Structure formats: structure tokens, C-alpha cells
Amino acid sequence: MPWKQTRDPYHIWLSEIILQQTRVEQGTPYYFRFVETYPTVLDLANASQESVLKSWEGLGYYSRARNLHAAASQVVQEYGGKFPDSYEEILKLKGVGGYTAAAIASFAFDLPYAVLDGNVFRVLSRFFGIDIPIDSTQGKKYFSQLAQDCLDKEHPADYNQAIMDFGAMVCKPVNPNCNNCPLSSHCKAYNEDRIKELPYKSKKIIRQTRFFNFLVLTDKTSVCIVQRSDNDIWKGLHQFPCMESEDLWVEVPENILSRLPDRIMNIKFSNKYKQILTHRNIEAQFVEIELDNIPVNFEWNRVPTEDIVKYTFPKIIREYLTDRFNCII
């Protein structure tokens, strides 16, 4: 992992933001892409948000990319382009929480702050046999103090990396390697046969299902797209005009057809597509509507079809583009 071989706080910060909600094998190519495209925090700050979102495309949780861009601007404007070197100042950066601040402070500056990610929660909960919910305010406060108490203050970077790696490779969520664990003789969860119970969470994620009907309006040379700007999923990304409904359409409603130019050449419904987000299930279909001509001043943005690869789309739309137009973006 290249970010483990550096003390550069900018590179460490990039890796930590990319690896939030992302597996290492998926995030690594993005890390290299960002380091190459934006070699310094100044390069990242000077880039447009659109280009940063395009570089992020495919990673999901796009608020991370927006916060990354905003924090880069903070570093330039408030710290003269020099990454802050104290935990308290790092914590002030947009999108940086306690875990990320501790990781940067310890790995870049060897400051004595304990990291507390899912791996560390799991190791501490099992080893000490703690059943306080890790997703509660009480639990976060308790484990934060416990992690700090356990920290090797003289070698915080080595300790933090070790306990995270231990949780990822030995004390795994499923099928932990207890038989070869050097801590098993002192592990309360192991000795009390409670490995599967810990760590304990009090809340279950309830996912809402939403139904999206995307209108793929095309003529011989162009297609209509819009940019999502409200405070909803995929903010800042592009999409085809979208009509949300209580279920997917079986035919195009008349009030939608009445908004289109007169000469509709053909209408075709795509297969159904699904995407699972943290708190939502998205079910979608793409209604391909071929028009004789899309007016220049039409209510939705008209762009040349060949330029569609320049825009940033959610995963579910990129899958459709790949299937329908063999368009890999």
C-alpha cells in the first residue's frame, strides 16, 4: 500500500478519504490517479469540482469528493498550502472526523492519537468483552477513551497500523483466525464463546426503495442530460431527466409526453437496473425516446452524444451506458 510508505500528510489524507467506505483493492487505482492528476494540495484546490467528481467517478459516496475539494481549498486559503500539523487543526478540515484526523496526525507527524475504525472497534470489543453498542454515543465515547488508553504513545504510527491490520487480517468480522491468534488466551470474547456477538450494534439499517424512470431523449446527434443540484443522493452528478414514482412505469404518462417536442419517432423501455446504497435501494429503468429533433432551447440540457463521456454519472447510469451504447465512462 503506497500510502504506508510515506509521511506526506497530503498523500495520507488522500488515501484515508478514498478508503472510507471503499475496499483497498478498489481504492488503490483511484489513489494513484489522484496523486498523478493532482500532485499537490494546491493542484487539487485549483481544479474544478466537476473534474474532481470525474476523477472520483465509480467510487460512490460523492460527498467525500466534494469535501476533499473543499478541504484542499481550506489548506490553501487558511494554511498557505501547507498541510496542518496538529490534530486540532486537521480536525477542522471539511470532511475530516476524529478517525481521519488521528490517522493523519499519527502516520504523518507521529503524534499520540489513537485511530478508531471498524477494525479497532472489533478488536477492542472482542478482546475486552465489551457489549456497549459501538454505534451509540456512549459506545463511541467509551471506545475512543479505551483506544487512547491502549495506544503506544512512543510509537503511535506503528501501533495504529498494527491494530488496524490485526483487525483486518486476524480478528476479521467473519471467520476470524482465532486458532492462530496470539491474543486468544486473553481474549474475553474467545474464552466466553461470544465472538459472533461482538462488536454489538444497536441500530439496524432500514433501506427505502426508490423508483427512478430516466428519460433518454435522443435525436440523430444529441441527448438530454441534467445535473443533480438538490440535497439528495448523487449531488453534483449528471443524469438523464428523471421522474421518480411509486413504482416503475409500464407506459409513459401523458403529462410527460405533453412536455416533449411533437415528433416522437420511437419509445423503448430498457431492462430494469438496481443499485444498493447505504440507506436506499434504487430500482430504475431507462425510457429511450427517439425524437426527430431536440430544440436548442429545450427545457433539459442538450449535449452532443459523443460528449457524454465527459460527464460524471452515478454507477447505475454508467452500467446502462455500457450495456446500451458500449460506452465505458
Residues noted as catalytic: 16
Whether omega for the bond prior to residue 199 falls within 30 degrees of 0, making it cis, is yes
**Residues 125-146, buried b or exposed e (16+ Cβ, 10 A)?**
bbbeebebbbeeeebbebbbeb
Instruction: Give φ, ψ of 99 to 5 degrees.
Output: -65, -50
**Angstrom distance (rounded) from CA 113 to CA 107:** 10
What is d(CA 234, CA 229) in angstroms, rounded to the nearest whole number? 9
Helix (H, G, I), strand (E, B) or coil at 154: coil
Residues 6+ apart with CB under 8 A from 232: none
Q: In the Cβ-directed half-sphere of 49, how many Cα atoms lie within 13 Å?
A: 17
Measured in degrees and rounded to the nearest 5, phi and psi for residue 216 equal -95, 90
- The values of phi and psi at residue 50, to 5°, are -60, -45
211 strand-pairing partners: 245, 283
Q: How many CB atoms lie within 10 A of CB 270?
A: 15
Looking at the DSSP assignment, which residues form a beta bridge with residue 214? 242, 286
